Structure 1
Amino acid sequence: MTIRLRIAIADDEADMRDFLARMLPRCGHEVVSSAKTGLQLVEDCRRVVPDLVITDIKMPELDGIEASTLINRERPVPVILISAYHDPVLLARAANDHALGYLVKPITFADLQPAIDLAMERFNELQSRSTGDRISPDSAPTCQPKQ
């Protein structure tokens, strides 16, 4: 059985939003939100209830770390952070229970599914400690390069 994740994405750069919106469906996932700001991401997540959030860190209104913290106060959801910077300060801020992945731009198609698999596996481990529920990693979709 293939698990089709409902993913909310956020980046203030249209090119990155477009890239993610094109690539994630090729991995078998559905993009349910494409936000330009951290505040829009928070609002969209309240409305669409995603299974996973992939967000840029540096964005207007709220950065991705602040937005993911607000989102997780309402409902636990795994987060993969993306940034153009490999900054130890950002990594330290990102080190929390819901930020379960970190990708440095430029991101390639091949980067996405391993990051998603790892984030979901870690999230499931954290959640199973409290609920006992778990999504099997064998049932996660696999990205296939476009022929």
Structure 2
Amino acid sequence: MTASDRDRDILARTLWAESRGEGLGGQIAVAWTIRNRVFDGKAKSWWGEGYAGVCLKPWQFSCWNQNDPNYAYLSGAKPIPAAQLAQAQRAADQVMAGAVPDPTGGATHYYATTMPKAPAWAAKAKETLRIGHHVFFKDVP
């Protein structure tokens, strides 16, 4: 699969919104969960097609919901701080190119520990990594 400039932009904006406080390592981990969905091995994936399709799939990355406070930044109505976006772009570039290994061990899901409680699906999934304020999982039922 060849990724487009749009894929890179949507992935970087998603990383900024979902993990801007995590540093490059945390953003790489979030990017890998997206990449793992993109390359799930299915011809027609439930997750969506390509990086943009996966990131924009309704109700998967809440930052793209129009009622989310991040949406104004993602849509371009408000500017994302340049240095923060540049870091997210670096993470996106490295993961899209396969230049860094998957620290999540194949995770397709994560949640932020700042949530009031863990999502129900986490109880039956396999935890693969904790980094910063995120917990990563695979084999989610």
**TM-score, normalisation: structure 2:** 0.30
Structure holding more strand per residue: 1
Say which structure, 1 or 2, has more relative contact order (CA 8 Å, 6+ apart).
2
